[in-house]
């Protein structure tokens, strides 16, 4: 939604306007009377500083990005392997690992001792787990780098996963499980993922009391042993340091580290939802949440750029079709949006979503259907195309307006094996998108009859029964009780 | 304004360890403040890291200036400030103006009839409602929908948005740095010639925003808690407004509210990024200098009277318990405010915080627990709030007792030297951490300028925290954290969502 420097596209688009209004401006020396009179001067050239890439002989990749504005230094090591690789019967393992890795301390210091030291120095060392990776980060004033980096290294190489922190981490997960049906939007997003990816998919499944209870300290120790090897690690460091000195420090710390087995590649299959109407009963609400969903695609798809333009025109920002038609003109929703979701290494979710008062639930479904029909009969107009492309290209600069953002983009491309100049290709790709491209991707990816329609709400208050739209499959979101599978060895 | 000299000296010491770009002299050099002839305060902070800038327009009005009947109106106007002007968002303003007047006339007639004291004539109400809706449809013909947002986005705007709180309304986005003049045009026109088109559709949108929070147990709890804690001051009203008001107030109400509070003397505009004060100030002056000078609105009269007895709210919900309690305390301009900020840090910040160690780590009755200063706002006397999200199987009463024993500890025993030092170190570091982002810096500087009357208040506040003593902490804890000054709100589980039947048990 946000990209570039004021590029050539805008300049040309407004040239005639600027030209035509020169006379008007001359008469009113001080202020423009119409926004069209105001032409932007060329944006001065800006070449964001690329981070330095280093690859050690053990496979570890390091990026260094100097940024001397503030006296901080931050590092993030992202490690391949995440919750999609954990066993289904231990769903939650990686989340617990991501917590206890830090709270369980190191061989020499308990997690509580680390807390005392770090907090007293306004420093952080944190660990976490995600779908495809785990991470360990540090963030400190540069004057504390020696000590904080030492903590970082000890956690990386000698974590202890002390047993007493396991129940704490499990408490966090169990609390989240016990409250996961509080918010209708949360229910809708969770169930939508299950419908699209399959309830058992590693990208959709959720932890239960039983799967949390099944996780043991040994699981955490084994996970660390299996995944934390230099050839699975990408480390990015940004802040107030000298790159040569930092490189020497990191080489000294990591050169000795021996290679291990590579993390497995993603093998998860994706099939898409079974079309139909799905319903989750939630009686303590005044509004319904509606989603229409299907499988999206990946960012290495050649259609990606056309999809980005389509998404901007259809459901992005403050003047897209969905926003203008469903929110501004119909007043049906506060939160509304949608588009073809994309991810780096697995298909995203194609989604239209909104929240609307219970008694306009059917009206909102009708409004979505109308938009989907209009896409067939009346795809993006020239004006809509221009508008969407300008929005992406002119705000492109916000993709790299800080050194840390530049670093983070590079880290992502490295992690997912994308070309290092992906951002520049993105800009070029967007520029080339035509009206035909946008129509084509709309027809190719959005099929009304293949969508799953999911409604979370209070059926008694709906304007029309959901069965108006076809047979309704009710989804039971009751939380399975904690019985049985209590603490296993 | 107090202690300027002291804080400058302190700041020099503070920043001595920092890179040169962040020393105070440099900050003073990079920030230019100008009060325009019409009373508008403009702040420009030069931060040429990348060819972009962010702005923050602070308007010194929020739901604090609302009263029964118009609750939610400040937030409603905030939404209307995206609807355009007499030149943006219309295909024929001359005709649209008349059409909008007819919408208002039709609405007044309809609204009077449907809310009349006497028994309503249903047929007449329906007729008037139809006439109003017809007038809306007629006015809609002149609308170029969402053109304001479209212009911002096409020219490269990012993060376009706004917010309303209990005491301020803020507008913000970021632009490439070659769009300063367009920005100045848009921001001045939006407040010089706002046209309240599509008002009643947007009122529905805002009502949907309310439903988002009222459809969650925590949203319901927070609204009841706040309402119970205040009997007189408007802090007790929800920013989003009560449903009855959202279904009643008119575009005329919004227009009147805007005229009274959107005056330049009541606004601070802050620009941060790749902008030179010498270049942008003349532009800002040309455009925003056009806002009509009006006297600053009279300060709010109502002050919350002292609380003289504990208030307790209990919500029965089909989810797990949550506990909140709040104690009245002075506002952000009070000399003790830094002490409360120190207390907040001590009680809630990170794994070493007292509430985390007691409720989460040791007693294992909460997944999260904290305490914070300044609820639901900061400007007026407000609440210091303690809360906890319980772990499964633990009751709000257990939480309450555990929080109270931590409060008792702060009252009866000095905090340690290490704790006090930690609080001060973090206050300093946390401030500096916030200085590396245009939008964040614009919020910080603009808010400090409006609250303290001087952007340096942002830095001065940290030096005030530096001066906090152990005795100060005990003093404010003892004087304020007392039963008669307390409001509690807790959620109790009617039936835990364990048994299959639980799904049926809505409230």
User: Among the three residues A195, A223, A254, which one is the final residue of a domain in this structure?
Assistant: A254
In this structure, are B194 and B330 located in the same domain?
A: no
Question: Does residue A271 form part of some domain?
Answer: no
State residue B25's pLDDT score.
Answer: 62
Give residue-wise pLDDT tens across range A233-242: 999 999 999 9
Question: Is B19 part of the contact surface with chain A (CB cutoff 8 Å)?
Answer: yes
SS3 content of chain A, % helix, strand, coil (to 5): 45, 15, 35
Task: Please state the φ and ψ torsions of residue B312, each to the nearest 5 degrees.
Answer: -130, 130
Question: Does residue B1 form part of some domain?
Answer: no
State how many domains chain A has: 3
Evaluated on CA atoms A57, A63, A64, A70, the torsion sign reads: negative
Question: Which residue out of A179, A320, A358, A361 would a mutagenesis test of the B interface target, given it has the greatest number of B Cβ atoms within 10 Å?
Answer: A179
Asked if the model's pLDDT at residue B504 lies above 60, the reply is: no
- Number of residues written out for chain B: 507
Give residue-wise pLDDT tens across range A441-456: 999 999 999 999 999 9
In this structure, are B369 and B261 located in the same domain?
A: no
The SS3 of residue A132 is coil
Structure-model confidence comparison of residues B337 and A33, the more confident one = B337
Average pLDDT over residues B483-498: 83
Contacts of B418 in chain A (CB under 8 A): 116, 120
State residue A385's pLDDT score.
Answer: 96
pLDDT tier at B118 (50, 70, 90 boundaries)? confident
Question: Does residue B37 form part of some domain?
Answer: no
Q: Which range has the worst mean pLDDT, A23-32, B27-36, B180-189?
A: A23-32
State residue B497's pLDDT score.
Answer: 44
In this structure, are A16 and A73 located in the same domain?
A: no
In this structure, are A25 and A62 located in the same domain?
A: no
Question: Does residue B118 form part of some domain?
Answer: no
Question: Does residue B43 form part of some domain?
Answer: no
Question: Does residue B42 form part of some domain?
Answer: no
In this structure, are B276 and B315 located in the same domain?
A: no
Question: Is B434 part of the contact surface with chain A (CB cutoff 8 Å)?
Answer: no
Q: DSSP per residue over B50-93, as a string?
A: SSEEEEEEEES-SGGG--TT-TTHHHHHHHHTTS-BSSSSBS-H
Asked if the model's pLDDT at residue A122 lies above 70, the reply is: yes
In this structure, are B245 and B337 located in the same domain?
A: no
The SS3 of residue A340 is strand
Q: Say what the ipTM of the complex is.
A: 0.90
Percent above pLDDT 70 for chain B: 92
Contacts of A400 in chain B (CB under 8 A): 50
Of A119, A183, A387, the CB nearest to B352: A119
pLDDT tier at A417 (50, 70, 90 boundaries)? very high
State residue B426's pLDDT score.
Answer: 95
- Whether residue A391 contacts residue B153, with contact meaning beta carbons closer than 8 Å, is answered with yes
Question: Does residue A301 form part of some domain?
Answer: yes
In this structure, are A317 and A239 located in the same domain?
A: no
Question: Is A150 part of the contact surface with chain B (CB cutoff 8 Å)?
Answer: no
In this structure, are A213 and A89 located in the same domain?
A: yes
In this structure, are A290 and A187 located in the same domain?
A: no
CATH number of the CATH domain containing B389: 3.30.830.10
State residue A29's pLDDT score.
Answer: 53
In this structure, are A248 and A108 located in the same domain?
A: yes
Asked if the model's pLDDT at residue B102 lies above 70, the reply is: yes
Average pLDDT over residues A245-255: 98
In this structure, are B406 and B446 located in the same domain?
A: yes
Average pLDDT over residues B57-76: 98
Question: Does residue A46 form part of some domain?
Answer: no
pLDDT tier at B495 (50, 70, 90 boundaries)? low
Structure tokens that stand for A218 in this block: 């040994």
Question: Does residue B111 form part of some domain?
Answer: no
Q: Which domain holds residue B329?
A: 311-497
Task: Please state the φ and ψ torsions of residue B442, each to the nearest 5 degrees.
Answer: -60, -40
Percent above pLDDT 90 for chain B: 86
In this structure, are A75 and A156 located in the same domain?
A: yes
Query: Distance between CA A390 and CA B156 in Å, rounded?
Result: 7
pLDDT tier at B259 (50, 70, 90 boundaries)? very high
Asked if the model's pLDDT at residue B283 lies above 60, the reply is: yes
Residue of chain B whose Cα is closest to the Cα of A391: B154
Give residue-wise pLDDT tens across range B220-254: 999 999 999 999 999 999 999 999 999 999 999 99
Q: DSSP per residue over B167-179, as a string?
A: S-EEEEEEEEGGG
In this structure, are A224 and A80 located in the same domain?
A: yes
Non-local CB neighbours of A275 within 8 Å, separated by 6+ positions = A449, A450, A451, A452
Asked if the model's pLDDT at residue B11 lies above 80, the reply is: no
In this structure, are A314 and A414 located in the same domain?
A: yes
Contacts of B201 in chain A (CB under 8 A): 328-331
Q: Which domain holds residue A454?
A: 276-474
State residue A269's pLDDT score.
Answer: 87
Question: Does residue A360 form part of some domain?
Answer: yes
Asked if the model's pLDDT at residue A466 lies above 60, the reply is: yes
pLDDT tier at B22 (50, 70, 90 boundaries)? low
Question: Does residue B157 form part of some domain?
Answer: yes
In this structure, are A57 and A30 located in the same domain?
A: no
Closest CA to B74 of B209, B269, B258: B258
- Whether residue B140 contacts residue B198, with contact meaning beta carbons closer than 8 Å, is answered with yes
Average pLDDT over residues A410-424: 96
Element (H, E) at B8: helix B4-14
Percent above pLDDT 90 for chain A: 87
Question: Does residue A405 form part of some domain?
Answer: yes
In this structure, are A214 and A327 located in the same domain?
A: no
Average pLDDT over residues B154-163: 96
Number of Cβ pairs closer than 8 Å across A and B? 276
User: Among the three residues B231, B256, B288, which one is the final residue of a domain in this structure?
Assistant: B288
In this structure, are B267 and B363 located in the same domain?
A: no
State residue B13's pLDDT score.
Answer: 36
Query: Distance between CA B16 and CA B18 in Å, rounded?
Result: 5
In this structure, are B377 and B479 located in the same domain?
A: yes
Question: Does residue A216 form part of some domain?
Answer: yes
**∠ Cα B19 B343 B410 (to 5°):** 140
Please state, as a whole number, how many other Cβ atoms lie within 10 Å of the Cβ of residue A265.
Answer: 7
Question: Does residue A1 form part of some domain?
Answer: no
User: Among the three residues B235, B257, B288, which one is the final residue of a domain in this structure?
Assistant: B288
Give residue-wise pLDDT tens across range B375-434: 999 999 999 999 999 999 999 999 999 999 999 999 999 999 999 999 999 999 999 898
Closest CA to A74 of A411, A474, A461: A411
The SS3 of residue A277 is strand
Structure tokens that stand for A300 in this block: 């290495």
State residue A267's pLDDT score.
Answer: 80
Percent above pLDDT 70 for chain A: 93
Question: Which residue out of B176, B392, B493 would a mutagenesis test of the A interface target, given it has the greatest number of A Cβ atoms within 10 Å?
Answer: B176
In this structure, are B205 and B253 located in the same domain?
A: yes
In this structure, are B379 and B315 located in the same domain?
A: yes
CATH number of the CATH domain containing A136: 3.30.830.10
The mean pLDDT value of chain B amounts to 92
User: Among the three residues B288, B319, B351, which one is the final residue of a domain in this structure?
Assistant: B288
Q: Do B435 and A70 touch (CB under 8 A)?
A: yes
In this structure, are B441 and B406 located in the same domain?
A: yes
State residue B121's pLDDT score.
Answer: 87
Average pLDDT over residues A267-284: 94
Distances (CA, A) of B338 to A143, B11, B113, B461, B466: 26, 16, 53, 7, 9
Give residue-wise pLDDT tens across range A337-384: 999 999 999 999 999 999 999 999 999 999 999 999 999 998 899 999
In this structure, are B216 and B81 located in the same domain?
A: yes
State residue A477's pLDDT score.
Answer: 97
Distance from CA of B176 to the nearest CA of A (A): 6
State how many domains chain B has: 2
In this structure, are A433 and A345 located in the same domain?
A: yes
Question: Does residue B345 form part of some domain?
Answer: yes
Please state, as a whole number, how many other Cβ atoms lie within 10 Å of the Cβ of residue A417.
Answer: 9
State residue B501's pLDDT score.
Answer: 30
Question: Is A71 part of the contact surface with chain B (CB cutoff 8 Å)?
Answer: yes
Question: Does residue A47 form part of some domain?
Answer: no
In this structure, are B249 and B382 located in the same domain?
A: no
Average pLDDT over residues A263-273: 87
Q: Do B349 and A286 touch (CB under 8 A)?
A: no
Distance from CA of A274 to the nearest CA of B (A): 25
pLDDT tier at A10 (50, 70, 90 boundaries)? very low
The mean pLDDT value of chain A amounts to 92
To the nearest 10°, report the CA torsion of B223, B224, B228, B232: 40
Query: Distance between CA B369 and CA B333 in Å, rounded?
Result: 27
């Amino acid at each position: 939604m946000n990209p570039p420097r004021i590029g050539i596209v805008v300049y040309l688009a407004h040239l005639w306007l600027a030209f035509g209004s020169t006379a008007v401006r001359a008469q009113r020396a001080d202020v423009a009377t119409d926004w069209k009179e105001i032409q932007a001067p060329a944006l001065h050239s800006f070449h964001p500083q690329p981070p330095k890439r280093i690859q050690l002989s053990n496979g570890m990749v390091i990026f260094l990005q100097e940024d001397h504005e503030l006296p901080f230094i931050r590092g993030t090591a992202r490690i391949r392997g995440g919750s999609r690789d954990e066993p289904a019967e231990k769903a939650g393992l990686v989340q617990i690992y991501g917590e206890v890795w830090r709270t369980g301390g190191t061989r020499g210091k308990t997690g509580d001792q680390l807390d005392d030291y770090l907090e007293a120095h306004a420093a952080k060392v944190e660990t976490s787990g995600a779908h495809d990776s785990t991470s360990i980060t540090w963030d400190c004033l540069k004057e504390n780098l020696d000590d904080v980096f030492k903590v970082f290294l000890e956690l990386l190489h000698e974590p202890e996963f002390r047993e007493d922190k396991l129940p704490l981490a499990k408490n966090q997960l169990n609390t989240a499980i016990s409250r996961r049906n509080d918010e209708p939007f949360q229910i809708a997003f969770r169930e939508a993922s299950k419908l699209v990816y399959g309830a058992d998919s590693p990208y959709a499944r959720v932890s239960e009391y039983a799967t949390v209870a099944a996780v043991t300290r040994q699981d955490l120790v084994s996970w660390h042993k299996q995944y934390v090897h230099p050839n699975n690690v990408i480390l990015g460091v940004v802040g107030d340091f000298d790159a040569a000195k930092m490189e020497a420090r990191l080489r000294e710390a990591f050169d000795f580290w021996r290679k291990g087995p590579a993390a497995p590649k993603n093998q998860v299959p994706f099939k898409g939802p079974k079309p139909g109407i799905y319903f989750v009963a939630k009686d303590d609400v005044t509004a319904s949440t509606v989603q229409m969903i299907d499988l999206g695609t990946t960012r290495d798809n050649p259609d990606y750029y056309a999809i980005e333009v389509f998404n901007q025109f259809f459901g992005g920002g403050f003047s897209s079709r969905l926003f203008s038609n469903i929110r501004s003109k119909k007043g049906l929703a506060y939160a509304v949006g949608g588009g073809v979701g994309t991810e780096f290494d697995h298909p995203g979710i194609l989604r239209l979503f909104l929240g609307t008062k219970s008694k306009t639930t059917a009206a909102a479904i009708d409004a979505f259907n109308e938009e989907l029909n209009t896409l067939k009969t009346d795809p993006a107009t020239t004006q809509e195309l221009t508008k969407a492309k300008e929005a992406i290209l002119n705000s492109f600069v916000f993709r790299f307006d800080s050194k840390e953002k530049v670093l983070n983009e590079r880290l992502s491309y490295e992690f997912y094996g994308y070309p290092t100049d992906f951002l520049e290709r993105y800009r070029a790709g967007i520029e080339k998108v035509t009206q035909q491209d946008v129509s084509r991707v709309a027809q190719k990816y959005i099929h009304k009859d293949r969508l799953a329609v999911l409604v979370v709400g209070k059926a008694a208050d709906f304007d029309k029964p959901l069965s108006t739209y076809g047979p309704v499959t009710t989804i039971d979101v009751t939380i399975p009780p904690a019985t049985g599978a209590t603490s296993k060895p | 304004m107090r202690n300027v000299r002291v804080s400058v000296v302190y700041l020099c010491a503070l920043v001595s360890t920092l890179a040169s770009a962040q020393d105070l002299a440099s900050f003073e050099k990079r920030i230019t403040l100008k009060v325009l002839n019409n009373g508008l305060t403009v702040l420009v902070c030069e931060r040429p890291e990348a060819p972009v800038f962010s702005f923050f327009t602070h308007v010194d009005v929020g739901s604090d200036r609302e009263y029964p009947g118009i609750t939610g109106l400040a937030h409603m106007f905030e939404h209307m400030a995206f609807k355009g002007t007499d030149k943006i968002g219309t295909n024929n303003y001359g005709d649209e103006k008349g059409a909008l007047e007819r919408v208002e006339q039709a609405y007044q007639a309809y609204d009077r009839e449907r809310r009349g004291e006497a028994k309503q004539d249903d047929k007449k109400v329906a007729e008037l409602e139809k006439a109003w809706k017809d007038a809306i449809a007629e006015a809609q013909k002149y609308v170029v929908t969402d053109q304001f947002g479209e212009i911002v986005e096409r020219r490269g705007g990012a993060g376009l948005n706004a917010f309303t709180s209990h005491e301020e309304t803020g507008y913000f986005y970021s632009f490439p740095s070659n769009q300063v003049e367009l920005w100045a045009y848009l921001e001045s026109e939006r407040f010089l010639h706002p046209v309240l088109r599509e008002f009643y559709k947007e009122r529905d949108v805002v009502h949907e925003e309310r439903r988002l929070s009222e459809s969650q147990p925590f949203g319901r709890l927070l609204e009841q808690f706040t309402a119970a804690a205040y009997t007189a001051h408007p802090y007790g009203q929800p920013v989003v407004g009560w449903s009855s008001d959202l279904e009643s107030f008119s575009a005329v109400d919004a227009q009147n509210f805007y005229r009274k509070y959107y005056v330049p003397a009541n606004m601070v505009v802050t620009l941060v990024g790749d902008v030179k004060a010498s270049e942008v100030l003349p532009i800002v002056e040309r455009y925003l200098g056009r806002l009509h000078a009006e006297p600053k609105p009279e300060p709010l009269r109502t002050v919350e009277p002292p609380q003289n007895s504990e208030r307790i709210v209990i919500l029965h919900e089909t989810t797990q318990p949550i506990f909140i309690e709040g104690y009245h305390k002075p506002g952000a301009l009070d000399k003790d405010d830094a002490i409360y900020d120190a207390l907040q840090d001590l009680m809630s910040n990170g794994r070493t915080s007292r509430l985390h160690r007691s409720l989460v780590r040791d007693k294992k009755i909460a997944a999260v627990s904290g305490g914070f200063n300044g609820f639901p706002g900061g400007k007026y006397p407000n609440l210091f709030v303690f809360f906890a999200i319980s772990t499964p199987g633990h009751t709000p009463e257990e939480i309450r007792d555990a929080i109270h024993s931590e409060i008792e500890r702060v009252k009866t025993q000095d905090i340690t030297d290490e704790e006090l030092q930690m609080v001060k170190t973090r206050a300093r570091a946390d401030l500096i951490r916030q200085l590396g982002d245009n939008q964040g810096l614009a919020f910080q500087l603009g808010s400090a300028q409006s609250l303290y009357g001087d952007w340096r208040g942002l830095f001065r506040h940290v030096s005030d925290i530096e001066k906090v003593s152990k005795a100060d902490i005990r003093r404010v804890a003892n004087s304020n954290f007392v039963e008669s000054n307390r409001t509690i709100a807790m959620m109790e589980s009617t039936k835990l969502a364990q048994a299959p039947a639980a799904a049926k048990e809505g409230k």
